[in-house]
Structure 1
Amino acid sequence: MHIAFPFKINGRGRTAKVETDEHIRQMIEQVLFTSPGERVNRPDFGTGISNLIFASIGDEIIAATKFMVQGALQQHLSDVILVQDIHVESEDAALRVAVQYVAIKSGQQRVAMFERKLPEVSEVS
């Protein structure tokens, strides 16, 4: 069992925990959506791909993003997963990322899918 991300309290008033498969998915999510420089004492952690929500994405950007994500996951999670494929797309103010990987400890192949949308702006009268 591992501490859940984001940190939360369970129904019994204790630290929420997750199984290993969900923990790996949560670690991938942290690497993907943390911007470099965001974490104290780990300035190289993350990818900063959240900025792609604002960009129009062409084939070159997708290829560069896949390379960047592959490198970040290898750098920070190479002892946990072996990345097999990455799919990135952005449309309608949403960023979707799929990471196909093998969990090294169990040998299980998995696909983790993530989506981030622009926050909706509420109108103030």
Structure 2
Amino acid sequence: MGEVSEQVLGQGWATPVTLDAQGEVRLEAGAEKVRQAIRLILDTRRGERVMRPDFGAGLEDFLFEPVGTTTSALIRQRVETALIVWEPRIDVHEVAVDVADRRSGRLHITISYRVRATNTFYNLVYPFFLQEGRAT
């Protein structure tokens, strides 16, 4: 199954880029490469990529916004749209934004998705902070 998954889903540099035991660039393939691509979309600011200024979810736009249902709904919509546009290997089943810690402004963005080529379902929880870090 691994070889078929690799052929269908592709193989590329691991994110973040690191070296393996032989000193070569570490590669990832299959479902792990898809998961890394999703995280890359969520981590990328709009305008950050010169040749693709519209790439990414642009979640930094929500920094310092109040913790509430409006902000959560806007983040959910932004994540869902970015994944539909930029990750064609998946079908987004659900995006949920939950307040994990209101005081620190920590949200958990839970993404349920299906890899089209293998018809396998996965979940990814992406922590996102609306406020700057501070000692508690």
TM range (shorter): 0.7 to 0.9
Instruction: Indicate which of 22, 28, 31 corresponds to 2:38.
Output: 28
For 1:109, the equivalent position in structure 2 comes to: 121
Q: Which amino acid aligns with 1:87?
A: A
Instruction: Indicate which of 73, 94, 112 corresponds to 1:85.
Output: 94
Instruction: Indicate which of 96, 100, 108 corresponds to 2:112.
Output: 100
CA distance in 2: counterparts of 1:72 and 1:29, whole angstroms = 11
SS at the partner of 1:8?
coil
Deviation at 1:51, TM superposition (A): 4.5
- Residue 120 (structure 2) pairs with residue 73 (structure 1): no
Deviation at 1:121, TM superposition (A): 6.7
Q: Which amino acid aligns with 2:92?
A: V
**Does structure 2 conserve the Cα–Cα contact (< 8 Å) formed by 1:2 and 1:20?**
no
1:10-29 equivalence runs, <5 A: 10-29=20-39
CA distance in 2: counterparts of 1:87 and 1:114, whole angstroms = 10
Structure 1 residues 119 and 60 mapped into 2: Cα distance closer, same or farther (>3 Å)?
Answer: closer
Structure 1 residues 119 and 26 mapped into 2: Cα distance closer, same or farther (>3 Å)?
Answer: farther
For 1:59, the equivalent position in structure 2 comes to: 69
Q: TM-score, normalised by structure 2?
A: 0.77
SS at the partner of 1:54?
coil
CA distance in 2: counterparts of 1:93 and 1:67, whole angstroms = 19
RMSD of aligned C-alpha atoms? 2.1
CA distance in 2: counterparts of 1:64 and 1:53, whole angstroms = 12
Q: Which amino acid aligns with 1:66?
A: R
- 1:34-76 deviations in Å (ceiling 9; x for gaps): 1100111110011121443532221122112111111111111
Structure 2 gap segments, 5+ residues each: 1-10
Once the two structures are aligned, what percentage of the paired residues are identical? 25
Count of residues in Structure 1 that have an aligned counterpart in Structure 2: 121
SS at the partner of 2:52?
coil
Bigger CA drift: 43-52 or 33-42?
Answer: 43-52
